[in-house]
Structure 1
Amino acid sequence: MGPGGTATGIGGEVAVPGLQVAAVLAGLGLVLLVACSLRSVGVAERMVVVRLGRRARLRGPGLVAVLPWLDRGVRVPLRAQWYDVVSLDATTRDAVRVTVTAAAIGFVRDAMRYAMASSPEPAVEWVLEAELRRSLAERDLAQLAILPTTGFPELSDAVSARTGIWGVEITEVQVSRIETPVDPGLVRWANELG
């Protein structure tokens, strides 16, 4: 830049008015705003756009506009989600301590409720553990032997009844492992049965 707002180029000095610089900067700002506002939403997800914490709209799939500082975009997965329960300690109806490893398959059925919940995944896992512990407490040790093959058909409904407030439905609960620590009381109990 030379004196007086001129730029020096190959052919000499060219005048660059301040208005052109302002227009270029405004154009760059607009391009930056558009780039920050657009979000790509996949086929297996939706985006809930909340404007100023009040009005929520469900958008997607495709490009979704989210205005910075006005909107908050929350991605909601629509694919099956696995919720794992690893080494859950529980007690059966006949007072035997067991450790269970299980998993559940869940789907988001209400994207708005899911997006408005602060963190639904840990809450769903907590409900799953609580309901699994309750269900184990209603069974004897002998009844647990068939659970890895039959699963808990009624447990998915019980969990879904509680997780529905977050928009999550549990469709299946699978038990992969049931362990019973061997202690002298358990050995006596087995001998009494035999």
Structure 2
Amino acid sequence: MTMFDYAPYLVAVLLIGFLLSLAVHIMREYERAVVFTLGRFSGVRGPGLILLVPFVQQLVRVDLRTTVHDVPSQDVISRDNVSVKVNAVIYFRVIEADKAVLAVENFLMATSQLAQTTLRSVLGKHELDEMLAERDKLNADIQEILDSQTDAWGIKVANVEIKHVDIDESMVRAIARQAEAERNRRARIISAEAEQQAAEKLVEAATMLAKIPEAMQLRYLTTLHDIADERNSTIVFPFPLDFLRPFTAPDGKHD
């Protein structure tokens, strides 16, 4: 027998091999197959070995692992009219493979675009100080909005993290001046409050000393002791004016 006699068998083997390659599919543990029969959805299969009818059934592979997507830098104008550039990262995964294929054309692109618009919308409602100081709250708000809107696509948004908030150099200088003015204001308020408290305490002390004359005398002696401790060459003694009253009485009358 010549080689041409084996040609039909060879063609049959190749044809069977080709049909098997179209019929046999292996899904990994993190993959699911969305199967269509004559264009109609017929179920989700996997993981493991899947047999399909060639030319009649087709499948679309869907990865169920968590996807990390970097949201491009977005131009945002805050509520206090400060222009900033903000970028973020989102973590999401497919939990319903059929919805991810049937409900949206490209769930990766759709989620990315939705994340960009949501980032601009949410941050535009807050002031710059809130963007810098309350990132956890903003992350939670963005994650909640994205998760509610992507639920119809069978996607679960697990987390959102704002990475960078870039401010223009001129605005940085303005913010620095504002922060310095705020610190000066607080310093003046603290100084004024200290003066007020000191005045209140002085009034309380004077009231207490006025009630008991002996206390004033003790305070006088304490002051002399403090002056002596400082080794001054001159000591000034306060002279009570009450001692001069008998000598300054009108018409030379004395008590």
TM bucket (normalised to shorter chain) is: 0.7 to 0.9
Does 1:165 pair with 2:152? Answer: yes
Counting only pairs closer than 5 Å after superposition, residues 67-106 of structure 1 correspond to structure 2 as: 67-106=53-92
1:7 Cα deviation from its structure 2 partner: 2.5
**Whole-Å separation in 2 of the counterparts to 1:66 and 1:34:** 9
1:94·1:141 contact (CA, 8 Å) conserved in 2?
yes
- Which structure has the higher relative contact order (CA within 8 Å, separation 6+)? 1
Separation of aligned partners in 2, 1:184 and 1:155? 26
TM-fit CA distance, 1:73: 1.2
SS at match of 2:114: helix
Q: 1:139 aligns with which of 118, 121, 126?
A: 126
The alpha-carbon distance between structure 1 residues 27 and 111, as it changes in their structure 2 partners (threshold 3 A), is: same
Report the CA distance between 1:85 and its aligned residue: 0.8
- Give, as a single letter, the amino acid of the residue that structure 2 aligns with 1:87: S
User: Structure 1: which amino acid aligns with 2:19?
Assistant: L
Cα drift, residue 61 of structure 1: 0.7
- 1:31 aligns with 17
- Structure 1 runs of 4+ off > 6 angstroms? none
- What residue ranges of structure 2 are gaps of 5+ in the alignment? 183-255
> Which position in structure 2 is the counterpart of 1:41?
27
Cα 1:190/1:59, change in 2 over 3 Å: farther
Give the distance between the partners of 2:14 and 2:175, measured in 1 at CA. 80
> How big is each residue's C-alpha offset from its partner over 1:129-156, in whole Å with a ceiling of 9 and x where there is no partner?
1111111011100011125566511211
Q: What's the CA shift string for 1:57-90, capped at 9, x where partnerless?
A: 1111112223343222111111111121121111
Change (3 A) 1:30 1:184: closer
In structure 1, the residue matched to 2:107 is 120
- Given residue 137 of structure 1, which amino acid in structure 2 is its aligned partner? G
Change in 2 beyond 3 A, CA 1:33/1:27: same
Q: Give the Cα–Cα distance (whole angstroms) in 1 for the partners of residues 153 and 98 of structure 2.
A: 9
Match of 1:7 in 2: 2
Q: Which structure carries more strand by proportion?
A: 1
More helix by share: 2
Residues 124 and 190 of structure 1, relative CA distance in 2, 3 Å threshold: farther
Task: Check the 8 A contact 1:147/1:175 in 2, yes or no.
Answer: no
Query: What percent of counterpart residues are identical?
Result: 23
TM-score, normalisation: structure 1: 0.81
Please tell me whether the aligned partners of residues 72 and 116 of structure 2 are also in contact (alpha carbons under 8 angstroms). no
Structure 1 runs not aligned, ≥5 long:
1-5, 9-14
Residue 64 in 1 paired to residue 59 in 2? no
Q: TM-score normalized by structure 2?
A: 0.63
CA contact (8 A) 1:75 1:115 kept: no
Compare CA radii of gyration and give the structure with the larger one.
2
Q: In the alignment, what sits opposite 1:12?
A: none
